[in-house]
Structures are given as structure tokens and as C-alpha cells.
Structure 1
């Protein structure tokens, strides 16, 4: 018994050290020795390339169709004691190794140890705050602009993927680490959302993202409007939002129902919602004519215009303002298709 345990321990150590290369080497050796032994036994009818491969696979995997078999006693002994038992041992080793590899890979991704640096066209959510973050993921999955895009959640405190099956997950020691953000694939992401429990951390992440210069659109949320303004000063190309609860409270007291209107405009689902549309190159008109066209053709309402290359918005733009490319913001029940205008 001690000899068998010793053999098993050495075998396990061999495969642990050499992995799939060791298993492949053992398969080649077993295949070659099996052929040589049957050759010595005189089983010539089994030794053509195709016939032996077929016989070896069906015997080693214990399928045993029975249409091909050894004729001599020595050949039968070799088949029973070497090919069949050796094949079973190797087959169980392959299955065990494959199961372990898949399990380890799955656990690595669940623990946030995956690497999505080569991923493109996805959404990165930096920071996790329980139910509110789950709501963000749900809203992104409902809107047709982001529906179907792969999601990568990036956090430093969460131990495992908070939404397996709906999003991937990466974990690191600090959310403002360039290495962690690169592993989350911010370089190729279509959109990046930053929402943490600390404005200081959010500001540090914004500065790191500015250094990494991602191609996608970056939106960072701050609880303090002054911190949002500071972040905008350092990174004007990024979009920084702040908690508007106080402003909303005041506005609703002055104009009752304002909070309901704004909530509806931001809500994803049925009813009118605020959208953005990038105008095609060479598009030329004025805001008055564009307003009429949007109302007549799409039942949409123009509410804002930003000229090409500008960071300033014209909200409720005057009719005479010329439109030369750029982007518009509008209210409609459905998003305009890419070639609508």
C-alpha cells in the first residue's frame, strides 16, 4: 500500500510541476509504447495508422466497440493491463486537470483577478456601493445605447464579483492605481463611470484617468459640487456631476413639480427621455429650423446644442444660432437612429 501511495504522490507531483505538458508527454509515451508492444505481440492487423488510432482511442476510453480486437493471448494481455488501465488513468488525469483549471480560472475572475486590458467597446464602473451601484448596472442594461455592452466592475473593497453573470469584476488595492484601471480595460472602454463613497478618491481617480487618456467618455460623480468644479478644472475633457439634491429641493419649492419633470427626463423606460445625438459631418442649418424639423419628423424637442470642438452648451438655443456639426440634446420617446439627420 505504501508503494502505491508513494507512486501516486510522485505522479501528482509530476503533473503539478509540468502541467499540461507533462500530461501530453505521458499520452505520447503511452501511445508509442502501446504500438510497440502490439507490434512485438504480432498484432499486425491493428497497426496501420488509422486502425491503431481508432483501436487505441476506443480501448483507452473503455468505449470498446468490439469491431477490432487483438487475437493472440499476449496481445489481449497487453490491451487489458497496459492500454486499457493506462488509458483510464490518463483520461481521469485529463478530466481532473481540466476541471481544476476551469475552477481556478472561474475563482480568479470571481475574486477580481482577471485581466480585461484588451477588451474594447465595454462599460467600466469604478467603485461599488451596493444597491445604488446595482441600479446603475440595471439602467445601463435597459437603455438601447448601452444594452448588450459588456460591463466591468472595478473596486477595492468588494471581495467577489457582486453581479456574476451580468458583469465582470476586477479588484485591486486602490482604485486610483493606473495598473488596476488598465486591467479593467479603461483604454478601450466606450464609457467609464466613476462613483465612490469619497470625493477625494473620486478626484484621484479622475486625475489618473486624465493621465491614461481613455478614448471613451468619462463621467465622475461627486457629492460636493465644489469638488466637481475642481475636478473639471483639472480635467475639462471629462464630465463631472454632483449631487443636486439641495438645488432640486429649492427648485421644487419655487416651481412645484420640477423634481418630477427632471426625474422623468432621466428615467429609462417608457415616456419622454432626454437623449444626445451627434450631428453628421457637413450638417448645416440653424437652431430654429432644426427645432421645427425635430418636432415635425420625430416628435422631438430640441433643448440644447454644443458646437463642434466646444465645451460650452447652448441650452434652449436661440433660433438664429447656426448649427455646423457638433451635437444636440433633445427630448423624445425614442432615441434617433444614427442616420436620422
Structure 2
């Protein structure tokens, strides 16, 4: 008696649950029953080959009804009316529902940040700061123009703020190796860390640097001491300090400075700051020649250079520019291909 009750509970719990396995078993059972009944009814034309049988079954069960094949005997018509069409409609609806549910679950997992991504050479943003993060994403989209995908990774209780435009990963910790696998840190070409708490920014940046030391790491800090600590452990990291106080003081002394700073940083309008490299294969030159070349050919203005040492802002015209040096300039749009052969 106990065995019978156990089997009954197992059958009730599993047989009538529409799992993928049960759906497959029901489909196979449906094919076997329809084939057997049509053979028994003498419908030789419908069962002359398995391919023709499946074709007839799909056309009939889905109620498309082309009419090129149909049962000839009365018994065959009863089989089709009572078994083939009702059973096919039920299975067809169940299959379509399962596919639709799977697609919705897949899309929903992406919105909730629970899906493992398949991206490479992407820009990874760690942290969510509301409108500031959205503004940064918009600027990155304008700069990249579809070149690199953008992935937002956040601990905040949010959904993907830009579904269809960026990828999204939801984690409970930026240093949880199991959860952070979804963000594919090792395959990112640029990692931007921007959190409200500097200690989280520091730990996240150190973790990312350990996973992917070749990525361009950018971190925003309000505390200069923590910024210096990250620079000490990760010399290649680019630490962005909080400049609110400096901008306030500058605007107080030189009215209009804040508007100028916004124009220099905005990537969607006006004169914006960009950088490029003087080709390694080019001959040594000086600031005056490069300055005039950029202005004459591209209406761009050279504002700084960087060699092995720190950035030199507003360099003298006779300062040497060696091959491989980094050049900073302002222009309406980024100049992707400088024709350095025109440099005189």
C-alpha cells in the first residue's frame, strides 16, 4: 500500500507537469498513437513514408489544412477528428507557449542582469550613480559609435536602464568571482570604476586589475589618499580626482570657466578634448609644426603633449615632439586618421 501511494504521488507530481522532458514524451506518444491508428484505419497514403506522415500531421494539427492529403475512409476521418486535430492543437499550443516563455525569460534575465554575457573587447562600467552614469554612457556611445559594446555592472537594486542599447549585470559584490564572471572582466578592453564609496572603488579596481592587468583601468575617487594608494599598486591605472572645489574656485576667479570646462568635456557638442599618438614611423618634429598642421588641415588645436614624463600643457613652440608621443587636442569631432605625411 505504501509503494502504491508513493508511485501515485510521483505520477501526479511529474506526469502532469509540463516540463521539457514531459513535452518530448507526449510528442513521441502522440506520433506513435496517430501512426498506429491511421495504419489501423487503412490510410496507406498518409502513412506511406514517415516524412509524408509527419508533414500531414503538422499541416493538420496546426489547422493550416492545405488539402493535398486527407483521410479517405470513415474510420480515418474519425481518427483525425477525435485524435489528430485535438491532440495536435494541444501540443502545438504547449510548444509555442514553451518557446515564448523561454524567449521572455531570456530577455527578462538580461534586463535583471542575471544572464551570462558573450562580449569581448567591451567597456565595463562598475557602479551606478543615477543620471551621472546615464550621462557617461551617452557620452561613451557617442564616442564609440558602436565600436565597443558597453556593459554596466551594478550592486544597486535596478534593472537595465537602457535595454537593447547596453548589456547589464547585477551582482551583490564587485569582488565576488562567481558573479563577476558574467561581466567578463578578463575580456574587457576598458574598465571604469565609479562608486559612491571610495573604499568600494578601491577594492573593485584592485580586483579588476588582478583579473585583467592589460585593460585600461579608470577609477574616480573623492579621497586623494585612496587615489594615490591605487596608483601605487596599479601604476597603469588612471585615477580621476574630484575637481568640484577646484572648478568652483576657478569660476570665482575667472568667470565663465565652468562653462569652458563643460565644453571641453562634453562629447556631444562644441569643442571637445581628444588625444592621439604621433606615429612611431614619423620623423622627429616640434610643437610649432604639429600645431600649424592640425590647425591648417583639421581646424584642431594642440593643447598638450605627453612623453615618458608627465603631461606638458601649452608647450613652447620649439619643444621637440618625438615619435610615439601622445598629443592632446581640441576639435569638434575626434579625428580618426591624421594624414601625417602632409606635415611640413
Question: TM-score normalised to the size of structure 2?
Answer: 0.86
Alignment match, 2:300: 300
Alignment match, 1:69: 70
Cα distance in 2 between the residues matched to 1:302 and 1:296: 12
Alignment match, 2:83: 82
- Secondary structure of the residue aligned to 1:227 is helix
Q: Tell me if 1:43 matches 2:43.
A: yes
Alignment match, 2:205: 206
Cα distance in 2 between the residues matched to 1:240 and 1:62: 65
- 8 Å contact kept, 2:151–2:169: yes
Going from structure 1 to structure 2, the CA distance change for 1:92 and 1:63 (only over 3 Å counts) comes to same
Going from structure 1 to structure 2, the CA distance change for 1:180 and 1:283 (only over 3 Å counts) comes to farther
**Deviation at residue 266 of structure 1 after TM alignment:** 0.6
Alignment match, 1:3: none
Cα distance in 2 between the residues matched to 1:12 and 1:284: 78
Alignment match, 2:171: 172
- Secondary structure of the residue aligned to 2:16 is helix
**Deviation at residue 10 of structure 1 after TM alignment:** 4.8
Alignment match, 1:140: 140
Alignment match, 2:5: none
- 8 Å contact kept, 1:140–1:147: no
- 8 Å contact kept, 2:263–2:272: yes
Cα distance in 2 between the residues matched to 1:264 and 1:101: 47
- 8 Å contact kept, 1:287–1:317: no
Cα distance in 2 between the residues matched to 1:229 and 1:287: 33
Q: Tell me if 1:324 matches 2:323.
A: yes
Cα distance in 2 between the residues matched to 1:335 and 1:9: 63
Going from structure 1 to structure 2, the CA distance change for 1:26 and 1:339 (only over 3 Å counts) comes to farther
**Deviation at residue 302 of structure 1 after TM alignment:** 1.4
* 228-237 or 250-259, which deviates more: 250-259
Alignment match, 2:16: 12
Alignment match, 1:275: 274
Name the count of aligned residue pairs: 328
**Deviation at residue 138 of structure 1 after TM alignment:** 2.0
* 260-269 or 247-256, which deviates more: 247-256
Going from structure 1 to structure 2, the CA distance change for 1:339 and 1:301 (only over 3 Å counts) comes to closer
Cα distance in 2 between the residues matched to 1:81 and 1:71: 15
Cα distance in 1 between the residues matched to 2:272 and 2:294: 15
Cα distance in 1 between the residues matched to 2:12 and 2:284: 80
How do residues 175-324 of structure 1 correspond to structure 2 at under 5 angstroms? Answer: 175-213=174-212, 215-288=214-287, 289-307=289-307, 310=308, 312-318=310-316, 319-324=318-323
Alignment RMSD, CA only? 2.4
Going from structure 1 to structure 2, the CA distance change for 1:215 and 1:87 (only over 3 Å counts) comes to farther
- 8 Å contact kept, 1:112–1:170: yes
Cα distance in 2 between the residues matched to 1:280 and 1:219: 25
Question: TM-score normalised to the size of structure 1?
Answer: 0.87
**Deviation at residue 111 of structure 1 after TM alignment:** 2.2
Structure 2 unmatched runs, 5+: 1-9
- 8 Å contact kept, 2:217–2:238: yes
Structure 1 unmatched runs, 5+: 1-5
Cα distance in 1 between the residues matched to 2:173 and 2:309: 31
**Deviation at residue 146 of structure 1 after TM alignment:** 4.8
Cα distance in 2 between the residues matched to 1:177 and 1:287: 49
- 8 Å contact kept, 1:275–1:331: yes
- 8 Å contact kept, 2:122–2:189: yes
- 8 Å contact kept, 1:195–1:202: yes
**Deviation at residue 311 of structure 1 after TM alignment:** 6.2
- 8 Å contact kept, 1:294–1:301: yes
